Amino acid sequence: MKDNSAFLKGMRDGLPIGLGYFAVSFSLGIIAKKGGLSPLLGFFSSLFTRASAGEYAGYSLIAAGASFWEMFIISVITNARYLLMNCALTQKFEESTKMIKRLLVGMCCTDEIFGISIAWPGKLKPKYTFGATVVAGPMWALGTALGIIAGSALPLRYVSALSVALYGMFLAIIIPPAKKDKAVTACVIAGFLFSYLFSVTPLLKEISSGTRTIILTIAISTVISLIKPVKVKEEEVAKNE
């Protein structure tokens, strides 16, 4: 398949992703409005980030008046999965693929873009990923900007109602894997439980929300990984060797 055909196919596959992005990022814009972002700033922050959990954490920390270090650390933690995704994508490239194209594909990588890119038959053509991103990326950014505008124009009770939509998105993300893996279920329950305990316990409740999130994320994931580490099949180990 020619590169131009791959680009057009990427645009076609990126359209439904973009429509989903628009709906979700609209709710994200409501959170960004609470952080004091303008529609223009919200547009460009989403255009260059495109990470729902990372942006939600960032906007929430901005609204809470968190420090730059707290924002940096929580952004690294919430977006660490993209490092693994891009490592997997490196196996899909032709050896002749230039470094600049590899880096650009890494910048395009989101959960959904990764999903369609890794499913590409045979070696991945970077223009396919670029085509999907050209369509889906701006729709994500536009949704955020419009959400900020709506947050300024709508009555407070409607803004609060729209804010709930983002929590619904997170539930949709965590429930399916929690059903399949008891370790994930334990992480989710522990996260809810200890977040509540931190908010009501003397001294602990004085810790900022950003630092609290960092502590709980590292502590819970470390404990669960020690109790139930991911098992690697012998065939996979032999293959990697």
DSSP states along 188-207:
HHHHHHHHHHHHHSTTGGGS
Distance CA 191, CA 193 (A): 6
Which residue's structure tokens are 């470390």?
Answer: 222
pLDDT in tens, 62-71: 888 878 888 8
Phi, psi of 47 (to 5 degrees): -60, -40
Read off the pLDDT of each residue in 42-61 and give the average, rounded to a whole number.
Answer: 84
Cβ neighbours, 10 Å, residue 198: 19
Which amino acid, 41?
A: L
Q: What is the pLDDT of residue 12?
A: 92
Among 63, 34, 2, which Cα is nearest to 156's?
34
pLDDT of the residue at 240: 41
pLDDT of amino acid 44: 92
Share of the chain above pLDDT 90, in %: 15
pLDDT value of position 100: 92
Compute the distance between CA of residue 26 and CA of residue 20 in angstroms, rounded to an integer: 10
Looking at residue 135, its pLDDT comes to 94
